[in-house]
Amino acid sequence: MGLLLAAELRLAGVDVTVLERAAARSPHSKALTLPPRSLEVLAMRGLAEPFLREGEPVPTGHYGGLPVRLDFSVLDTRFPYTLVLPQLRTEQLLEERLRAPGGEIRWEHRALEVRQDADGAEVDVAGPDGTYTLRAVWVAGCDGAGSAVRTSAGSGLPRHRAPREGRGTADARAAAGAIAGDPDRMRAVTARPTTAHDGWTGRRTVLVRPDGHVAWDAALSTT
Ligand SMILES: Cc1cc2nc3c(=O)[nH]c(=O)nc-3n(C[C@H](O)[C@H](O)[C@H](O)COP(=O)(O)OP(=O)(O)OC[C@H]3O[C@@H](n4cnc5c(N)ncnc54)[C@H](O)[C@@H]3O)c2cc1C
């Protein structure tokens, strides 16, 4: 969210500062797919092509681990599928878009608190060399589920414990030759039902990259 917004603002000539509390991009992916609406939004900004080139379209999939398989092929959209592409690649492609017009990310800079006044806002930031305060006309709270920025602004999200359902995502490497198929394409294999660890039963999506790297996404349910 923050990368896309920052890239768009930068393209419009706005001076943007992106703060990221992590020291580097995580090699592990949470999201493994881009649903139709996300692809439509990227296409609106002329951005869909590199994602479509790398991703693997899969016509059905789960949403949020719900025990109902969604059929994207019936949707009235240019993208009637969910595109399997690890979040790591999504973020890297968006970062390229940000860097092209000169945008930068300040890694290891954590937003602590935001104060708003009549002319803009101030952000207290903890960086590797200590804390400092940034002044900006606008501050966008794109800092994820537990957003410090949105909490400062009084618009943090109330949290609810999910019903009795588990969810797991793992990255793994397949043994050489263990995976048959077209080596030039990333392959997505979906299977259900399957039995996963700890006695959970549910659906499983296995994503295989040409280099044999497997990102495994499991939506698990006790039912
Ligand atoms: C297991 C799992 C699987 C998922 N699968 C899918 C899927 O298949 N398809 C899909 O569309 N969505 C999926 N999602 C949801 C998707 O990952 C999120 O909707 C998406 O990452 C939200 O993007 P965001 O930019 O709002 O937040 P994030 O991706 O969380 O990015 C927020 C960034 O802000 C940084 N940050 C946090 N606090 C601060 C701070 N105080 N100062 C500076 N930086 C800070 C974080 O380090 C992070 O880099 C999944 C989520 C999970 C957990």
The alpha carbon of 2 and the centre of ligand 1 are apart by a number of angstroms equal to 10
**Strand 60-61 relative to strand 165-173: parallel, antiparallel, unpaired?**
unpaired
Say whether pLDDT at 182 is over 50: no
Could you name the CATH architecture of 2-99?
3-Layer(bba) Sandwich (3.50)
Sign of the CA dihedral with 150 first, then 110, 64, and 200 last: negative
Query: Which of 21, 90, 131 has most ligand 1 atoms within 8 Å of its beta carbon, as the pocket-test mutant?
Result: 21
What is the structure's pLDDT at 174? Answer: 59
In 83-152, which residue ranges form alpha helices assigned H by DSSP? 87-99, 148-152
Rg (CA), the chain: 20
Q: Which helix or strand (DSSP H or E) is residue 7 part of?
A: helix 2-11
pTM for this predicted structure? 0.82
Rounded Cα distance between 145 and 112, Å, is: 15
Task: List b or e across 2-36, with b for residues whose CB sees 16 or more CB atoms inside 10 angstroms.
Answer: bbbebbbbbeeeeebebbbbeeeeeeebeebbbbb
Burial of 135 (0-12, 13-18, 19+ CB in 10 A): exposed
- Residues 81-133 have pLDDT tens digits of 988 888 889 999 999 999 999 999 999 999 999 999 999 999 999 999 999 99
What is the structure's pLDDT at 211? Answer: 63
Pocket of ligand 1 (CB under 6 A): 1-2, 19-22, 30-35, 38, 87, 110-111, 142-144, 148, 167, 169
**Strand 82-84 relative to strand 120-127: parallel, antiparallel, unpaired?**
unpaired
The alpha carbon of 144 and the centre of ligand 1 are apart by a number of angstroms equal to 5
